[in-house]
Amino acid sequence: MMGAGKSTVGKALAKHLSWEFVDTDHLIEQQTGVSIPTIFEIEGEAGFRRRESHVLTGLEGRAGLVVATGGGIVLAEENRTTLKRVGAVVYLSASAGELYQRTRLDKNRPLLQGPNPRKKIEELLALRLPLYKSVADVVVETGRQPVSQLVGKICQAVGLDKSSSPVGSK
């Protein structure tokens, strides 16, 4: 989910492993030359989701990656299949309240620009939670733990350490 810490934890994990960090939202922005909110405005959520699927497919076969995806990437069955195929999937779990606190001031979240962003987070989480769990190899509660502790938990859970060779796009 948005605000769960995918980018922060992903960057730290990649650094720890000496792997490359990739954020699918940033790749989309680089490819289009515009922001995610602009894509939503022009193409709608469906257009953005098509771009998201295309970017994810383009990462297949690349080793030594830590990939942070947008929270809605699991909505498409083809994306869930791709995620399961390319490496270990870690679901960073946080409560709706925590997610709201982390995102409430961020104007770069198109899905939260309505009148009640907290309610929207609760709705999105309720919809997506079964999908996250269906694709996750590991679930890590983010809470208020230090990032380094989360990185350690992830490495232990998926059997990685700094000396691990980059097999698959984990």
Residues annotated within the binding site for substrate are 25, 49, 71, 128
Annotated binding site: 3-8, 25, 49, 71, 109, 128, 145
Calpha distance 63→87 (Å, rounded): 9
Calpha distance 7→10 (Å, rounded): 5
CA 143 remoteness from chain centre: 16
C-alpha distances (whole Å) from 71 to each of 15, 38, 48, 111, 159 are 22, 18, 12, 11, 24
The angle at the Cα of 43, spanning 84 to 77, to the nearest 5 degrees, equals: 20
Annotated binding site for ATP: 3-8, 109, 145
Compute φ and ψ for 90, nearest 5 degrees: -110, 125
Annotated binding site for Mg(2+): 7
DSSP string, 9-42: HHHHHHHHHT-EEEEHHHHHHHHHSS-HHHHHHH
